[in-house]
Amino acid sequence: MRRVPFITTTIFALSCFSASAALDENQVDKGKVTAGGKPVTLLGSGVTVGEQAPSFKVVNADFTPVSLSQFDGKAVVISVVPSLDTGICSLQTKYFNEKVAAQYPNIVMLTISTDLPFAQKRFCKQEGVDKVQTLSDAVWRNFGEQYGLLIKDMGLLSRAVFILDKDHKVKYKQLISNLASEPNYADVIKSLDTL
């Protein structure tokens, strides 16, 4: 297995992080998220229920670009996590893989984080995640910008869940107020049942 040198990974991550420095603060979700009891600033546009979901550009495990348009005509669940290598993010991703994907096989299940694709691929292999597509926002930070979820000075995405209908209108949004908490899964399932 080929390993990417730490210095290369670090430079890559820092260059991506610095590119996000010029983003405006998300006014839609201002003051709604905390980490360790302190408010965090979210950067980017922010989205609301009822609007057309913004397009985004991320990469898969092979660094191949993936956009929302590739799922045209399909309902989509987007589970957003700060990092798959943390306990809560791992639980969230495995929940959608094991419980939700099996119950709703015709709905596209995505997990998006700023983890590098190498780390996402390793996580999926170790944890048996095979029904959820993990996508990385590490290259352009475009998803974080379009959905207003990039955490200022951290380079991570805030925890959230979105449900898009077949026309990719935002039918449901759950922005988790405490980064250390899991989503309200029952609420997500309730919304999925209305699609």
Asked if 159 and 92 count as a contact pair (C-beta separation under 8 A), the reply is yes
Burial class (CB in 10 A: 0-12, 13-18, 19+), 115: buried
Cα torsion 18, 19, 21, 22 to 10°: value is 150
Catalytic annotation present for 16: no
Provide the CB-side half-sphere exposure for 191 (13 A, CA): 20
Query: What are the helix (H) ranges across 24-76?
Result: none
Q: Which of 43, 47, 75, 89 is catalytic?
A: 89
- Catalytically annotated residues: 89
